[in-house]
Amino acid sequence: MPSPYRAIFAAPGTKGFTAAGLLGRMPLSMVGIGVLTMITELGGSYALAGGITATIALSAAAVGPQVSRLVDQHGQRRVLRPATLTAAAAVTGLLVAAANGWPSWTLFAFAVVAGCVPSVGSMVRARWTALFRDTPQLHTAYSFESIVDELCFIVGPPLAATLSAGWFPEAGPVVALVFLLTGVWWLTALTATEPEPHPHEEHTDRSSALRSPGLQVLVATFVATGAIFGSVDVATLAFAAEHGNKSLGGVFLAVWAFGSCLAGIVFGLLHFKGKAEPRWILGISAMAVSMIPLLLAGNLPFLAVALFVSGLAIAPTMITTMALIEAHVPHAKLTEGMTWISTGLAVGIALGSSVTGWVVDTAGAQTGYVVSVSAGVAAAAVAFAGYRRLTRPAQGEVPAIDGDGDSRAEQRGTDRVA
């Protein structure tokens, strides 16, 4: 491991919560693909499968920030365990309903409750922030977390698709549940690195972190970015199925994540000067442009190359986004702020996967990538439209870390009007 990454693990407890977070995040990449594969293996349409995964994502978008807000107030252990048990029970109900041919509405009902699954990645990033706030090591830690995210997406989709297609239809989601329960229980047992909670009585401002204009821009942009992810997931699985090997869809999604992982490793080793906002705009634009070659993929090898190249823009953009959150969200609401980014992605994934499922059923798999290109254009448009709000934090912003690791004083006030 390069020395900057090795250095962050010199802090006590970091190896433990990183390993637990890896297990707890695996469902992020496995549940969607696992449910898609399960539903289609059981005879359902891509539209139905996309609708169910969209419902899970939308539910997570609504419930996830509230769970994280409770975590900020009461601590990770007290909140994450009951939330995880509730989500696990709902997913179990979904699997039973699908396996026994229950009416479609029951699948959607269980999918709604399944959305209370906690954002484990946000919990781990909050621990890194508590350790390295206002230091150059925080950039490296965020970079490492993006690498872990991509490792999950390298391993998770092919594992879920292979299990559900090759063993039994429910196998992918079942294994994802095991990872979730194990990871959350392990993480919440590591109390030494758990960030200090901030109960209500410590604050006069009880408003949501989303009142920050800068965070609003980030979240809105990531709704469109999530639509990229959701559309590529569905279109790639359908493309592989049309070419005679559905299980390869998960492998190709892993190739996409592998490109992001490599870019994240390199990005974490770089020492940037200046503000992060221009790099963020560049990353969003690069993701948009990288969707175009997917429309030209006429065969599986070309698609694999196109996915790898498009993945190179993902991790650097995600890393920069997490750094920007610190400039627009107070410390007491950091977990909630990070979860709102995941919420934006979840909403976008829901929209992208559902629309692409309908497009694939009516016009074919390759046409599904039109949704990906459209989502990329939308992400870039929102990012440019909101750029001035992002570069003008409200009075009273907390200190944040620029790309060069220096503390920058951002002021925050109670007035959040742009």
d(CA 145, CA 319): 8
pLDDT of residue 393: 52
- If you average pLDDT over residues 224-232, what whole number do you get? 90
| Domain CATH for 295 | 1.20.1250.20
pLDDT of residue 2: 55
72, 209 Cβ separation under 8 angstroms: no
On average, the pLDDT of the chain sits at 82
Domain hosting 175: range is: 14-191+210-394
pLDDT of residue 241: 85
367, 359 Cβ separation under 8 angstroms: yes
Residue 181 reports pLDDT greater than 90: yes
Residue 305 reports pLDDT greater than 60: yes
* 364 within a domain of the structure (yes/no): yes
Residue 410 reports pLDDT greater than 60: no
- If you average pLDDT over residues 352-378, what whole number do you get? 90
DSSP element (H, E) containing 360: helix 334-363
Query: Which residue is listed with tokens 């399960």?
Result: 38
Residue 412 reports pLDDT greater than 50: no
* 197 within a domain of the structure (yes/no): no
Query: Which pTM value belongs to this model?
Result: 0.73
* 23 within a domain of the structure (yes/no): yes
pLDDT of residue 270: 78
* 259 within a domain of the structure (yes/no): yes
pLDDT band at 209 (very low <50, low <70, confident <90, very high): confident
* 399 within a domain of the structure (yes/no): no
pLDDT of residue 392: 62
Residue 331 reports pLDDT greater than 50: yes
- If you average pLDDT over residues 269-286, what whole number do you get? 85
Closest to 345 in 3D by CA, of 65, 16, 46, 112: 65
pLDDT of residue 46: 73
342, 119 Cβ separation under 8 angstroms: yes
- If you average pLDDT over residues 178-192, what whole number do you get? 95
Residue 355 reports pLDDT greater than 60: yes
- If you average pLDDT over residues 56-75, what whole number do you get? 84
* 410 within a domain of the structure (yes/no): no
pLDDT of residue 207: 65
* 160 within a domain of the structure (yes/no): yes
Helix, strand, coil % in the chain, rounded to nearest 5: 75, 0, 25
pLDDT of residue 206: 60
pLDDT digits (tens, 9 = 90+) for 141-174: 888 888 888 788 777 777 887 888 778 888 888 9
Crossing angle (nearest 10°) for helices 369-385 and 334-363: 140
Query: Is the model more confident about 10 or about 409?
Result: 10
- If you average pLDDT over residues 272-296, what whole number do you get? 89
pLDDT band at 405 (very low <50, low <70, confident <90, very high): very low
Residue 326 reports pLDDT greater than 80: no
pLDDT digits (tens, 9 = 90+) for 5-46: 888 898 899 999 999 999 998 887 788 778 888 888 887 777
Query: Is the model more confident about 353 or about 292?
Result: 292
CB atoms within 10 A of CB 146: 28
* 411 within a domain of the structure (yes/no): no
- If you average pLDDT over residues 328-333, what whole number do you get? 74
Q: What is the domain count for the chain?
A: 1
Please report how many Cα atoms fall inside a 13 Å half-sphere around the Cα of residue 391, on the Cβ side. 14
- Among the ranges given (185-199, 209-223, 374-388), the one the predictor scored with the smallest mean pLDDT: 209-223
Residue 216 reports pLDDT greater than 60: yes
83, 116 Cβ separation under 8 angstroms: yes
